[in-house]
Structure 1
Amino acid sequence: MSVLISLESIFPYVKWRKGQRELAEEVYRVSKEGGTLFVNYPTGSGKTVAILTGALKAAVEKDLKIYYLVKTKNQLISPINELKKIKSRQKVVTFSYIYNKKDMCLLKSLKGLDYLDFLRYCSFLIKNKRCPYYRKAVKLQGYLSNGDVNVYKYGEEMSVCPYELAKKNIPNTLITISVYNYLFNPDIRAIIEREVNLRLERSILIVDEGHNLPDSIISMLARELRRDWIMRARKEVAKFYKGEDKESIIGELTRLLSYFKYLERKIGGRKYLELNYDEFPVYELDPDKLFKAALAIERREGNELFSPLSYIRKIAEFWKELRTRRAAKVLIFERGFKTSVVKLLYVLPPPDSTDPLRKAHAAIVMSGTLPPAEHLIFTLNLQDKNVRSIGMSSPYAVNLKILGIKGVSSRYTERYEENFIKMAKLIREVYDSLPEGIVLAVFSSYDYLRYIIPYVKIQDVIVERENTTLEEINSKVRGKNKLLIACSAWGKVAEGIEIKVNEKSLIRAIVIAGLPVPEPSSYREKFYEIMLARTRDKDKAWKHTYVIPAVMKVIQALGRSVRSENDRAVAVLLDDRFFEQYVLNIINSYGYKVEEINPRLLKNSILSFFNKA
């Protein structure tokens, strides 16, 4: 039975911050009427609690269910904390949460298993009635946590499976917090729909960190095929499989190994090799036959003993996805230190993965760096949805002085030594203008970084490589008074680095060395083809394929410096293309203003800005 409640009776704080009430009202309106809302509110604006307030009001009044989805388990903490505060004011608000099954398992002996091995072992124990925690969970009736009970600790105390407790909780609570996989992975969603009576048409979806959603879906559906897996799979089949198709499977695996050897010769000194999907040799490998062989190999000891995931099953999983014709894919061959690998990636999220956004009564997609609404619509295939947008500029944007310099560019046609020296000289001038602090130099690609950095000639510099971690960077920064960090716009550092001491950012300057336009590839060609089909406009398709992704990498990098009202920093954009009106409009939409400056005045402008601080 629905009831009427006010926003104020839900909102757990004394005062609304700037933009919070307007956001709560818009979320309530969309959640009640139906449709999709894109929310572009900066970090620290209080968007999480405002969105929850508006969605909860609509859910209570219209008897709807809310699913709040985050990218990682660690991101569950923020909405859970806000919901605890809301629940202290509104007892009608009940919530639950569920995450990675392995992380919720009480069997310590399984923690070291690969995730797929864990799932199979879990199924084995349940099927053979050997998991004591699962047996108790099945018998338990009427458990309701309301979210304020730590479900893992409760399960531990009661010797009951926490995952099963969490699953039982979902139908009984108003809002469930979980990770992307549970709804955006079609295979997992099918299980959830069956086990918890998921009704998307009566649900409100809230997607946190929505700028990550397309890439996260592509990543969760990616598959890989390793040369050493094929070799081990062939040995497994030869030694343990007794089926009539044994010789046929061994023969096809041998041919597949020969193909890998051919690719290893062809790749030469390149980092990767793009394979033509339509020409990839599917041979006569049948996923169903491979799965049958895998099951026979894994059960070679009978049902009494558990055996690890077979390598032939890994081959089968890859082949199954390869044969699934649900969306455009690309195949990439890479040669690693120990083995070579073929990676299968979707160009865009397949339609069945984004079905929840289309089928839900309402969907709220939020982020501090959400791409333009039109880009998300076409990327997530939401052309037929009623979409609205609401945004607010960062209140700290005025603390970042952005200077733009013409006469330099990272265009491929301008990549020669004279321009490398010019770009390097400007980076060094920014560095020399700061008495202390970190300068983050963000290059358009790893290759461009390698071209420029020898000419910069700064002694204290950390250079990001493709495999560098944020932890490595942070450990090297300690104790440094002044430092240059050189990174790629497409790497981890530009997207996620945060270096603070006493709650104050140490990144005092950011140099964007070239507009990070994606390199041409078969992936981008297919992306463009899909965008052209969806937009029916060549110019729009080009911008969605190359320009918007580049500008969004810049927006993310600009956010690395000013993290609070106490921070002040300068950013210098080094590329003519930053002054194209379309690019400027996107940058301006985040509250940033770009000031063109003569290179000869750069040092004085930076010194003047910090002297006024």
Structure 2
Amino acid sequence: MSLNKYFPYSSWRKYQKKIAEAVRDSIRGESILLLEAPTGVGKTSAVLAGALAALDELPDCLIFFTARTKNQAMAPFRELRLLRRRGINVLYSLFRSKREMCFLESARYMDYDEFLEFCKLERGKGCKYSASVAKLPPEELFEYCFIARSPVDFIEKCRGDELCPYEVARRLVALKAKVVIGAYPYVFDPKVQEAFFSMTGISLNQVVLVIDEAHNLSSSLSNMLSLKLSLRLIRLGRREALKYRFYDLVKDYDRLLAFYRAISKRIGDKRSILIEIDDLLTAVRSIQTFEREASALSLKKSRDEKMPKSKCYSRVVAKFLRALIEFRRGYVLSAKREEGEVTLEYRCINPASRLEKLFSNVKSAILMSATLQPKNFMVDILGIPDNRVRELRVGEIFPRENRLVIVASDVTSRYVERSEEMFKKMASYIDSAFRASPMKKAVLVVFPSYEIMKPLKRLVEEKPTVIEDEDTRIEDVIFQVRSVPKALVFAVAGGKIVEGIEIKSRGESLISTVVIAGIPYPEPDIFSNKLKELISMKYSNRSLGWEYAYAIPAAMKIKQAAGRAIRSERDKAVIVILDRRVLTDSIKKFLENLLSNYYIVNSPQKLSEKIFQFLASNPPKIDTIASSEI
């Protein structure tokens, strides 16, 4: 009964009830569930139904649904609103970055650590926005939860009534909210997590952690837990120390500048070089002294600037130096040139050491994705205890007959084989795929990198409708595709378009063909090679190191790109892979479902024939089990 109670639709899609039951049972058994289910299943509603049903038996626990982006926050929010329409009011709370939730203008100029201190001081002095929340009775607080149309609307409604959104969210947790939708740092950054859990009164063993798009978790956390220190920041710090007469800090900065000059000579024309941590640490008197003086400088600066206009640069430098001491496992220190100047990067190549405590102590966790990495990878890279892991990988929701996979055996993006002739061949395949695809549809071409996109963009005959760059907005892509008779979209593997696009019209996908123009292996750099070395040494297995660093990330990007086309049971799609290496066991074994049935072609003409024959043939087969009303 309780599974149905928390399911917001009139009937279950294929696999949804199985997922909900697995989630409920995993929480009961305090397991960590690795859930792989294809796009279109409806993972969010099924997972929430199972988790809420389990919480009926665990009144002191709550669901923490992580959201890396605002779009991700909308998924559970939408399901909770649908439940409310059915008369099931699930109290939730929502947390973005604490600084982002604050509407004091001065907050935007501060470093996050500075903001936390500023917030603490303001509350100590009696921040009126925070104090106003304490006066509200519970039923008025509930209204902010239940009337909000979106996570952003929740924050704006609080601001509109001059209430601190963070305090409203915190009080909702204290009032036994069953679901918390929160940004990554609240659970994945150990320092932020500790402060947040202390302030809200939550303990890890009360938390059922739900992570959507979990295939991105390792790379997202590597980025989040890494730090950079540019030469520009060192200069700004020195100028700041000089201005406020912290002359011992100025001397530290002079030694750091000398260190950067020496590193600049070492880099020469290389892309990047490894740096010994101790070499950098000897450039300052001591980390503790630097931190103490940076804090004193920050305090003096904040007193002089009644309205902060810039962050305290010395605090940022101190944070970087402290990280060098605190975090050694899974980190690499390197130097490279960015915009002509040296930048140091302390890169988290394996976040396991930062996450072991989290995954060992949460009540349960659900990691879900349409393209989830193998279990061993998740355990090793994320620090998940092997003995807690349970897996559910459900099959495809739409019939395989609706998909045609074609591999071109005479082309490759392999570095040593890249040439004008090879790129011309690949461009001919792209042109053939475009010509053979139907009108009123789109052909999505996914490149391993911008470096490979550049020559192919020049060589294809058809002018692309959309070319992805760092400023590309998904809504603009959808508008442009819908505005032309037939669209050609150029995107990069792992980019915004492949990660987040869903182009539909009347419930059907507008993408008829996906061309994967080369295997999207990560660029061989210091960080990938260090991860390969780390895993190879741990298991005395060189091939396993290569799989973790290169093969698995590439295979996940291929699966993700292939999944952009078929979004409903009414869709048919062609997946074209322009790289013969996909047929080698080293990567093929990670693409078993996709390559369970495929055709090999060795000319653009044969590709055209196959595509035309498939897309012009019978309409897509509809699996009635998969298409039950929802």
TM-score range, shorter chain: 0.7 to 0.9
Map Cα deviations across residues 377-433 of structure 1 (whole Å, 9 max, x no partner). Answer: 222122433212112334346333211121322223323444333323222322332
1:234 is displaced (CA, Å) by: 0.8
Alignment of 1:515-534 (within 5 A): 515-533=519-537
Determine helix, strand or coil for the equivalent of 1:557: helix
1:256 is displaced (CA, Å) by: 2.5
Percent of residue pairs bearing the same amino acid type:
30
Structure 2 partner of 1:299 = 299
Contact 2:492 2:498 in 1 (8 A): yes
Match 1:601 to one of 606, 612, 625:
606
Task: Pick closer, same or farther for the CA change 1:397–1:403 going to 2, 3 Å.
Answer: farther
Map Cα deviations across residues 216-262 of structure 1 (whole Å, 9 max, x no partner). Answer: 222222211122221121111112134xxx24x32332232244345
Structure 2 partner of 1:380 = 382
Match 2:181 to one of 177, 181, 185:
177
Deviates more, 1:22-31 or 1:39-48: 39-48
Determine helix, strand or coil for the equivalent of 1:353: helix
Task: Pick closer, same or farther for the CA change 1:267–1:495 going to 2, 3 Å.
Answer: farther
Structure 1 partner of 2:26 = 30
User: Which amino acid letter does the alignment assign opposite residue 6 of structure 1?
Assistant: S
User: Which amino acid letter does the alignment assign opposite residue 347 of structure 1?
Assistant: I
- Matches of 1:175 and 1:496, distance apart in 2: 24
Contact 2:35 2:366 in 1 (8 A): yes
Match 1:55 to one of 22, 27, 51:
51
Contact 1:393 1:591 in 2 (8 A): no
Structure 1 partner of 2:215 = 211
1:581 is displaced (CA, Å) by: 4.2
Structure 2 partner of 1:127 = 124
- The total of aligned residue pairs comes to 602
1:460 is displaced (CA, Å) by: 4.1
- Normalising by structure 1, we get a TM-score of 0.88
* RMSD, aligned α-carbons: 3.2
Map Cα deviations across residues 443-497 of structure 1 (whole Å, 9 max, x no partner). Answer: 2333333454444344446544567665675676574434443343244333334
1:280 is displaced (CA, Å) by: 5.1
Determine helix, strand or coil for the equivalent of 1:61: coil
User: Which amino acid letter does the alignment assign opposite residue 148 of structure 1?
Assistant: F
- Matches of 1:315 and 1:53, distance apart in 2: 46
Map Cα deviations across residues 11-54 of structure 1 (whole Å, 9 max, x no partner). Answer: 23221111111111111111101211111122331221211121
Task: Pick closer, same or farther for the CA change 1:327–1:140 going to 2, 3 Å.
Answer: farther
Structure 2 partner of 1:148 = 146
Contact 2:92 2:179 in 1 (8 A): yes
1:145 is displaced (CA, Å) by: 2.2
Alignment of 1:572-611 (within 5 A): 572-581=576-585, 583-589=587-593, 593-599=597-603, 600-611=605-616
Match 1:510 to one of 514, 519, 523:
514
Displacement over 6 Å in runs of 4+: none
Map Cα deviations across residues 491-533 of structure 1 (whole Å, 9 max, x no partner). Answer: 4333334444555544332221222222322212221233235
Contact 1:96 1:173 in 2 (8 A): yes
In structure 1, list runs of 5 or more residues that go unmatched: none
Deviates more, 1:316-325 or 1:581-590: 581-590
1:347 is displaced (CA, Å) by: 0.2
Structure 1 partner of 2:231 = 227
In structure 2, list runs of 5 or more residues that go unmatched: 149-153, 620-630
Task: Pick closer, same or farther for the CA change 1:341–1:397 going to 2, 3 Å.
Answer: farther
Deviates more, 1:336-345 or 1:58-67: 336-345
- Normalising by structure 2, we get a TM-score of 0.86
Task: Pick closer, same or farther for the CA change 1:302–1:476 going to 2, 3 Å.
Answer: closer
Task: Pick closer, same or farther for the CA change 1:256–1:481 going to 2, 3 Å.
Answer: farther
Structure 1 partner of 2:11 = 15
Alignment of 1:482-497 (within 5 A): 482-497=486-501
Task: Pick closer, same or farther for the CA change 1:111–1:73 going to 2, 3 Å.
Answer: farther
**Alignment of 1:160 onto 2:159:** no
Alignment of 1:152-551 (within 5 A): 152=155, 155-156=158-159, 159-171=162-174, 172-242=176-246, 246-247=247-248, 249-264=249-264, 272-278=271-277, 281-285=280-284, 286-300=286-300, 303=303, 305-307=306-308, 308-337=310-339, 340-396=342-398, 398=400, 399-434=402-437, 436=439, 437-460=441-464, 463-465=467-469, 470=474, 479-500=483-504, 504-533=508-537, 535-551=539-555
Determine helix, strand or coil for the equivalent of 2:9: coil
Contact 2:410 2:602 in 1 (8 A): no
User: Which amino acid letter does the alignment assign opposite residue 69 of structure 1?
Assistant: T
Map Cα deviations across residues 146-178 of structure 1 (whole Å, 9 max, x no partner). Answer: 842545466446543221121122142233222
Determine helix, strand or coil for the equivalent of 1:364: strand
Map Cα deviations across residues 113-143 of structure 1 (whole Å, 9 max, x no partner). Answer: 35636445433422333x2112233455756
User: Which amino acid letter does the alignment assign opposite residue 370 of structure 1?
Assistant: L
1:534 is displaced (CA, Å) by: 5.1
Contact 1:461 1:484 in 2 (8 A): yes
User: Which amino acid letter does the alignment assign opposite residue 430 of structure 1?
Assistant: A
Structure 1 partner of 2:102 = 105
1:95 is displaced (CA, Å) by: 2.9
Task: Pick closer, same or farther for the CA change 1:86–1:309 going to 2, 3 Å.
Answer: same
Determine helix, strand or coil for the equivalent of 1:237: helix
1:550 is displaced (CA, Å) by: 0.7
Contact 1:9 1:89 in 2 (8 A): no
Determine helix, strand or coil for the equivalent of 1:409: coil
Task: Pick closer, same or farther for the CA change 1:278–1:347 going to 2, 3 Å.
Answer: same
Deviates more, 1:45-54 or 1:64-73: 64-73
Determine helix, strand or coil for the equivalent of 2:57: helix
Task: Pick closer, same or farther for the CA change 1:11–1:498 going to 2, 3 Å.
Answer: closer
1:542 is displaced (CA, Å) by: 2.4
Higher relative contact order (CA 8 A, sep 6+): 2
- Matches of 1:94 and 1:453, distance apart in 2: 50
User: Which amino acid letter does the alignment assign opposite residue 410 of structure 1?
Assistant: S
**Alignment of 1:83 onto 2:85:** no
1:355 is displaced (CA, Å) by: 2.5
- Matches of 1:607 and 1:585, distance apart in 2: 29
User: Which amino acid letter does the alignment assign opposite residue 9 of structure 1?
Assistant: K
- Matches of 1:611 and 1:50, distance apart in 2: 36
- Matches of 1:250 and 1:456, distance apart in 2: 56
Task: Pick closer, same or farther for the CA change 1:509–1:12 going to 2, 3 Å.
Answer: closer
Map Cα deviations across residues 270-309 of structure 1 (whole Å, 9 max, x no partner). Answer: 6x42333447533332333233223332333674835442
Contact 1:31 1:55 in 2 (8 A): yes
Contact 2:426 2:456 in 1 (8 A): yes
Contact 1:223 1:318 in 2 (8 A): yes
1:611 is displaced (CA, Å) by: 1.4
Task: Pick closer, same or farther for the CA change 1:453–1:106 going to 2, 3 Å.
Answer: closer
Determine helix, strand or coil for the equivalent of 2:202: coil
Deviates more, 1:158-167 or 1:469-478: 469-478
Determine helix, strand or coil for the equivalent of 1:136: helix
Task: Pick closer, same or farther for the CA change 1:179–1:610 going to 2, 3 Å.
Answer: same
1:184 is displaced (CA, Å) by: 0.9
- Matches of 2:443 and 2:410, distance apart in 1: 22
Contact 2:93 2:173 in 1 (8 A): yes
